[in-house]
Amino acid sequence: MAPRRDYFDGCAAAHALDLVGERWALLVVRELLLGPKRFTDLRTGLPHASPNVLSQRLRELEDAGVLRRRRLPPPAASAVYELTEWGAELEPVLQTLGRWASRSLPEAEHIGVDSLVLSMRTMFSAEKAEGVDEVVQFVLAEQPFVARVHDGGFTMERGETAADATVTVAAPEVWAAVLYTGHPLDSAISDGVLTLSGDRAAVERLLDLFPMPEPVHAPQPAAG
């Protein structure tokens, strides 16, 4: 196992990078923000991380106090990983990074369910939500989530409830395209990749609450 590389710098930001700056570490945190997961679930969410590297990151994050490993009681009796209270405090850090990077975000062919949910929690605009009060049930790749907008606030958690409308997609990137890139809702419905039941107006109001920032363009190299 390769030794962890430290910065040996007294700056708190450098120490933070000592703890969570290794490749895949922050993405492991991202995968656990919505709740505990088994190793196989983490592998599903991070398919490009090798099992050895993922195991190493989990050990490092556990040693640092960012996450813990516990065994579920019977009949499950399987081990899961979950964030500590301190580890969960990294969500606003990831949100700030997400907002910053969204100004140069390339078009993605794939986005995971957890990534999509956390992106909605990140990009929500309280200012635009003034006067909006509704509940929308999402089923993303067969995983249910409840999105609530109330009093300028937004929550989106795993679960099921009675809702104003229900949006179902097999591929999370379908909803991401509708929400963030202006793909027409009608087209997604007519193509059969998205189903909507209940109050369509509630979903349309929701679409207005997640504005993307103006993109920043990298300077072009000077002609030789």
Beta carbons within 10 angstroms of residue 120's beta carbon? 21
109 or 172: whose pLDDT is higher? 172
7 part of a folded domain: no
Is the same domain home to 49 and 112? no
Domain residues for the domain of 81 are: 12-93
167 part of a folded domain: yes
CATH classification of the domain holding 174 = 3.30.1050.10
99 part of a folded domain: no
Is the same domain home to 25 and 51? yes
Is the same domain home to 132 and 63? no
100 part of a folded domain: no
The model's confidence at residue 220, banded by pLDDT at 50, 70 and 90, is low
d(CA 101, CA 222): 24
Residue 10, pLDDT score: 85
The total of structural domains in the chain comes to 2
Residue 224, pLDDT score: 52
pLDDT tens-digit map of 44-100: 999 999 999 999 999 999 999 999 999 988 777 689 999 999 999 999 999 999 999
pTM of the model: 0.88
Tokens representing 75?
Answer: 């009949």
103 part of a folded domain: no
216 or 31: whose pLDDT is higher? 31
